[in-house]
Amino acid sequence: MEPIILCSSSPTRAKLLKEAGIPFQQFTPQFNEEKIATSDGYRFVVEASYGKLKSCLEKFPNRIVVSADTIVTDGREILRKAKSREEAREILLKQSGNQIKIVTGMWVSKRGHLFGRVEETIYQFTPFDPEDLEEFLESGEWKGKAGACIVEGFCGKFIEWVKGCQSTAMGLPVEELKKILEENGKGC
C-alpha cells in the first residue's frame, strides 16, 4: 500500500498511525484555522479539517489524503490552544473535576471519493492535584494542545470515567480511518 498523506504536523497523530501500522508521509497544511468564526465545536472541527484537506489535495491530488482537527469543549465553550501559561491554567481549571468532550473531525480523500467523520470522546475528570498541575504547566507540554489537555499524559491521571475512543481524543480516530481505508465503496 502506498503511504497515505497525513495532512498534519502533529507528532501525536503520527504516533497513532505508526502504532496502527498505517504507512504515511506527513505534510504540514497551509490553512489558518483562526479564521473560522463559529462557537460550535462540531462545526469548527468539520471546517478546520476540511480546510486542511483542501490545502493538501492541491499538492497531492492523486494520493490518499487524511486530515483532522480536534477541539476540547466543556459544554459551554471551545477550549482552544492556550497561548500562555496563565491561559493554560485557566483552561485546565475549567476541566478539573468536570466533564469535557474532545471532538475530532476527520476527512479522507481516497480515489476520488470523500469520507468525513466527526467523533467524540467524553471524559469525567476528578479535581486536578494543584502540585501536579503546576508541574505540568512548568513542563510546557500543554503547548499546541487543544484545551491544553493531554489524556495520555497529565489529564490521564485524573480520569474518573471515559466514553469513547482514546485515539479520537488524541486527534485521529484510527478505528474509523482503518474502516475507510479498507472500504471499497464510495464516500459521502
Catalytic residue numbers read 69
Q: Which residues contact 178 (CB under 8 A, 6 or more apart)?
A: 20, 22
Of 7, 4, 11, nearest to 144 by C-alpha is 11
Determine the Cα–Cα distance for residues 160 and 158; give it in Å rounded to an integer.
6
Determine the Cα–Cα distance for residues 86 and 92; give it in Å rounded to an integer.
10
Determine the Cα–Cα distance for residues 1 and 27; give it in Å rounded to an integer.
18
99 secondary structure, DSSP code: E
Determine the Cα–Cα distance for residues 174 and 8; give it in Å rounded to an integer.
14
Residue located via cell numbers 503546576:
134
* CB atoms near residue 166 (< 10 Å): 17
Strand duo 4-7 + 65-73: pairing: parallel
Decide: 186 and 34 in contact? Cβ < 8 Å. no
